[in-house]
Structure 1
Amino acid sequence: MDELDRNILGLLSADARMSVATLSRRLRVARSTVQARLERLETSGIIAGYTLKLGEGAREGRLRASVLLTIEPRSQAAVLTRLRSIAEVERVFTTSGRFDFLLQVACPNTQVLDQVLDQIGAMTGVRSSESLIHLSTKIDRAV
């Protein structure tokens, strides 16, 4: 990946709907060059898809939390299967250190969050959990 590829990704990160013609004008390269680069970035898996990023208006009324889990040895697959069935669990990351999983959870209110946390904590294979409720977003560079 070179500087042109990074510039293309930067522009698309800000606006995934940007046309190839607009990209080529902003980058001052031929449209065919941008198109070829996009195709290569897509086939190599660097670009996995084009999506929309929800703004704060869509997030209003949703309580978000990070949940840190420590699981029993050899129970990762079973715990992941059960986590997939909980709609409020948006993402699950494996981690290094004293926790095995980092979960992103979104709920409409504290009652639902409490139920979800109880459900996760009661799972067979979950040794311990720690929850961090998100209060406000100060920086968001996620794509």
Structure 2
Amino acid sequence: MDDLDQKILAALAADSSTSTSRLGRRFKVARSTVQARIERMERSGVIAGYTVKLGQAMSVRRVRATVLIGAESRAQAAIVARLKAMPEVEALHTTMGRMAMIVQIAADSTEMLDEVLDRIGQVPGITETDSMIHLSTKFDRAT
């Protein structure tokens, strides 16, 4: 990846809906050059996909929680598959230590959050959970 690829990637990471024409004007190259670079980065796996980032109006209404999960080691792959199928699960990380995984979830209400936590607790192979409901976000470097 050269400097132009890095610039295109950074621009798309900030706003994936930016048109190739706009990127071409910004970086003083042809639109077709930008398009070819993006397609090459997609084929090589540098760009894995595009997504929607919820705005403040939508994310403020969601109830978020972090769930620490203890699991039987032989069941971890099946647990990951089951949790991946739950749309409320935003991210899952494996860990070292007493707990096997950290799961980030979001729901539209505390009632829905409670139901999601119940479904997580019923997944075969999960031995324990410890849930922490997020109250407010003081800062988030990922956004």
TM-score under structure 1 normalisation?
Answer: 0.82
Q: Classify the secondary structure of the residue corresponding to 2:132.
A: strand
Q: CA deviation at 1:84?
A: 4.1
1:70 maps to which residue?
Answer: 70
Query: For residues 85 and 15 of structure 1, what CA distance do their matches in structure 2 show?
Result: 27
In structure 1, list runs of 5 or more residues that go unmatched.
Answer: none
2:140 maps to which residue?
Answer: 139
Q: Which amino acid aligns with 1:36?
A: A
In structure 2, list runs of 5 or more residues that go unmatched.
Answer: none
Q: CA deviation at 1:111?
A: 2.9
Q: Aligned pair in 2 of structure 1 residues 77, 29: CA closer, same or farther (>3 Å)? A: same
Q: CA deviation at 1:140?
A: 4.5
Q: Aligned pair in 2 of structure 1 residues 30, 97: CA closer, same or farther (>3 Å)? A: farther
RMSD: 2.2
1:26 maps to which residue?
Answer: 26
Query: For residues 97 and 44 of structure 1, what CA distance do their matches in structure 2 show?
Result: 35
2:47 maps to which residue?
Answer: 47
Q: Classify the secondary structure of the residue corresponding to 2:127.
A: strand
* Cα deviation 1:76-120 (Å, max 9, x = unaligned): 133234324544323323334443222121122223323322332
2:79 maps to which residue?
Answer: 79
Q: CA deviation at 1:42?
A: 1.0
2:100 maps to which residue?
Answer: 100
Q: Which amino acid aligns with 2:9?
A: L
